[in-house]
Amino acid sequence: MDASNILVANVAVCAACFSLLWLASLWLKDVSFIDIWWALGIVLMAWMTYFLADRGPHAELLVVLCTVWGLRLGLYLLWRWLSQGPDHRYVVLIGRAGARRGWSFAKASLMLVFAFQAPLQLVVALPVILGQVSPNVALGFLAWIGVALAVFGIVVEATADFQLARFRASPENADQVLDFGLWRYSRHPNYFGEACVWWGLFLIAVDSGWLGLAALPGPLLLTYLLVFWSGAPSIEGRMLRRRPGYGDYVHRTSLFIPLPPRRH
């Protein structure tokens, strides 16, 4: 199957899944689980592309790395949702739409969450889609750099999530700031790790052929979302309001890329 038909198939599956999940949110009165699907949905598209396209070495690398990343992140977010309940960010988003615009939960969740995130997921997934439909060529140096970067990112993201979960599990840390481990060098090391994963997957896609270059919007969009939109900005303001020591932490710690702490 050619690239255009594979893209159409992914669009159709993505739209169908998000529609079903929206219906599920109406029953649950919660949209927080959409973050779980952000990871697992990309894994689904990676595997669907794998079975529709010619299977070459780049496709195998992409689908394996994407699966490891997606299952690890998806299961972690599932555990967090089940143990901690609705995500505060979504509660506020839906609540504001109801208070300021008079939107029902159904309309707010559809317009602000599901219809909004579906195209974003498709764009982010471009490296694991287009990287599999390029000509079947041997792995080059760029692909192995991509593998190293993606593996590094998975390890960093998993380590940061583990350190955060362990920190939050202790009641005595309720008003404290996590400023050790990877969090000593970056205020969002988990997001940095995720960005590394997708830039690594993009390098593998580029190594597969010229069509991989068209996947560039994927890592660019993901990095923008993490740094400037739904990632760090959605957390920073809340942490400054709730954690007395977070202002000092901001002054001495890099936002995204891990760096040695700054001296006052």
Q: How confident is residue 264, by pLDDT bands cut at 50, 70 and 90?
A: low
How high is the pLDDT of residue 137?
A: 84
Q: Which of 13-27, 45-59, 124-138 holds the top average pLDDT?
A: 13-27
Cβ-contact 53, 212 below 8 angstroms? no
Cβ-contact 143, 58 below 8 angstroms? yes
How high is the pLDDT of residue 203?
A: 98
What the block records as the tokens of 57 is: 């070495």
Distances from the Cα of 192 to the Cαs of 152, 154, 182, 227, 258, in angstroms? 10, 10, 11, 9, 8
pLDDT in tens, 179-208: 999 999 999 999 999 999 999 999 999 999
Calculate the average pLDDT of the chain. Answer: 94
Is residue 54 predicted with pLDDT exceeding 90? Answer: no
pLDDT in tens, 227-255: 998 888 888 988 998 888 999 999 999 99
SS3 per residue for 15-56: HHHHHHHHHHHHHHCCCCCHHHHHHHHHHHHHHHHHHHCCCC
Distances from the Cα of 140 to the Cαs of 58, 129, 137, 146, 208, in angstroms? 10, 19, 9, 10, 8
Q: What's the CA gap between 24 and 36, in Å, rounded?
A: 14
Cβ-contact 98, 105 below 8 angstroms? yes
pLDDT in tens, 118-146: 999 999 999 999 999 877 788 999 999 99
Number of H helices and number of E strands within the chain?
A: 12, 0
The single residue listed with the structure tokens 């199957």 is 1
CB burial of 115-132 (b: ≥16 within 10 Å; e: otherwise) equals eebbeebbebbbbbbbbb
**pTM to 2 decimal places:** 0.95
Cβ atoms within 10 Å of 60's Cβ, excluding its own: 13
Cβ atoms within 10 Å of 196's Cβ, excluding its own: 22
Is residue 1 predicted with pLDDT exceeding 80? Answer: no
pLDDT in tens, 153-179: 999 999 999 999 999 999 999 889 999
Q: What's the CA gap between 231 and 245, in Å, rounded?
A: 20
